[in-house]
């Protein structure tokens, strides 16, 4: 049972990491408005 549980955890972790990578690739191509607003606030604040 422990071996199967470990395998399941590893598979889930890989899926999560894969989803995050895909999301990051999409973000880098088209920066969301929220990030741009945060950058503008930081620039005007300093």
pLDDT digits (tens, 9 = 90+) for 9-18: 999 999 999 8
pTM recorded for the entire structure? 0.47
Alpha carbons within 13 A on the beta-carbon side of 27: 11
Give pLDDT tens digits for 15-41.
Answer: 999 888 888 776 666 556 666 666 666
22 closest CA partner among 33, 14, 12: 14
Backbone angles phi, psi at 11, to 5 degrees: -60, -45
Residue 42 three-state SS: helix
* Helix residue ranges per DSSP H, the chain: 2-29, 33-45
CA distance 18 to 15: 5
């Amino acid at each position: 049972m422990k071996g199967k549980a470990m395998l399941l955890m590893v598979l889930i972790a890989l899926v999560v990491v894969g989803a995050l990578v895909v999301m990051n690739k999409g973000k880098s191509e088209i920066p969301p408005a929220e990030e741009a607003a945060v950058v503008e606030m930081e620039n005007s604040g300093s």
